[in-house]
Chains A and B, each alone.
Chain A
Amino acid sequence: MEKVAIDELKLKDLQGRPVGLQDYFQEYSLVIFLRHLA
């Protein structure tokens, strides 16, 4: 099974603050990566 170190993913919220994916987890997370904004 593929595994990703989610605590190492440095992301930003819409205000530009640093956040982690784990901050938004429930039991699972469906992560959708956008291709572009349209």
Chain B
Amino acid sequence: MKSFKDEFDRRGVAIVVISFAEPERLAPYQEHHHWPFVMLADPKRIAYQAFALKRLSWFRIFSPSTLWLYLRLLREGKKFQNYGKDDYYQAGGDFLIDREGNILFAHRSQDPADRPAIEKLRQAIDQAVSRTSFTSSLNEEK
């Protein structure tokens, strides 16, 4: 995702990463990873609930695709970092929203390895931008 940040910026899409971890746990995580995105904390999970992100079942967490993901990450030399108390049952997700809060694209992860393809995100942005351009041109004609 880091490599797509510039492209998203050019297209007017801010990337915001939200975690349910407390800010004091999130800060060292960001220091370690240097993600070029805004990172925000939602320890009360108000946003998680607002976006209808549920808790995963044990079966989903230990699905073959999840185990394969972690095996691949270990092979790539990724090391487990301990940032304190964690919750492996909380589902994540990816959402494209506009200023009014309309959800233009939603991907609620079904297991930890379930993330949307970058191409799907690009398509969603294309559709959103073209819709905005169309609405703007209609307003100009009035």
Contact = CB atoms under 8 A, between A and B. Distances in A.
Interface of B is mostly: mixed
Contacts of B26: 14, 37
Contacts, number: 153
B18 A32 contact: yes
B14 A24 contact: yes
A28 B97 contact: yes
Looking at B88, B97, B106, which has the most chain A CB atoms within 10 Å of its CB?
A: B97
Kindly state the interface size class of chain A when it binds its partner: 20 to 34
Interface residues of B, number: 63
Nearest to A13: B40
A8 B104 CA distance: 19
Interface in A1-22: 1-16, 19, 21-22
Given A4-B51, A31-B97, 4 more contacts: A3-B102, A30-B8, A31-B16, A36-B86
Interface of A: 1-16, 19, 21-22, 24-38
Interface of B: 1, 8-9, 11-21, 23-27, 29-30, 37-44, 46-48, 50-51, 53, 80-81, 83, 86-88, 90-104, 106, 109, 112, 121, 125, 128, 132
